[in-house]
Amino acid sequence: MAVRPILIAGDPRLSTPATPVTVFDAELLAFADDLFDTNTAAHGAGLAANQIGDPRAVFVYDLVDDGVRHRGCVVNPVLETSEIPETMPDPEDDLEGCLSVPGEWIPTGRAHWARVTGVDATGQPISVEGTGYLARCLQHETDHLAGRLYLERLIGRHRREARRMIRDREWTAAGNSWLPGAEPKPARR
């Protein structure tokens, strides 16, 4: 088990759709453990494989929502959601962050309910369903595996501010990363 560097926005591996997993073996189980270790070290709610440079369709989640801990690994996820609001997100209730956009929290519209179906790291069928924070996480991580950062879901002034932030932080090239536990999470400028 190991903590791996997390790619930062601008790296093309974050915008490349994931490859379905076809081999379920000890290496995949160890990889899932690395995802959990990296997510824990980064104090994240979830982490997708492409965020650490791996092209496989795998994500982990580990979060507390309404006092209940939710933890798991989903391979080859398929997402289903309730309707996504088209209005401006609430600046307090709809804040979303990302380990690949460290230090930033931006209001992002998400469906209130989500379900992800797929398999676990051993190949057994799995279905995870939730509302609120868990639903947000499931949508966020499946977006990663589709090659989409949450920044692409932003609207209005939030989208303009995010583009400016990416440019100001010089996150426009491949290879930017940070290592949880070994260095501090890059701070907001």
To the nearest 10°, the Cα dihedral for 118, 123, 124, 129? -20
Which one of the listed residues 83, 141, 152, 161 is annotated catalytic?
141
**What do you get for the CA distance between the two ends of the chain, in Å?**
33
Would you call 170 a catalytic residue per the annotation? no
CA distance 189 to 175: 20
Find out whether 112 is annotated in a ligand binding site. no
Residues with Cβ within 8 Å of 31's Cβ and at least 6 positions away in sequence, in order, are 49, 54, 56, 58, 121
Find out whether 73 is annotated in a ligand binding site. no
Find out whether 158 is annotated in a ligand binding site. no
Residues at the binding site are 98, 140, 144
What residues act catalytically? 141
Residues at the binding site for Fe cation are 98, 140, 144
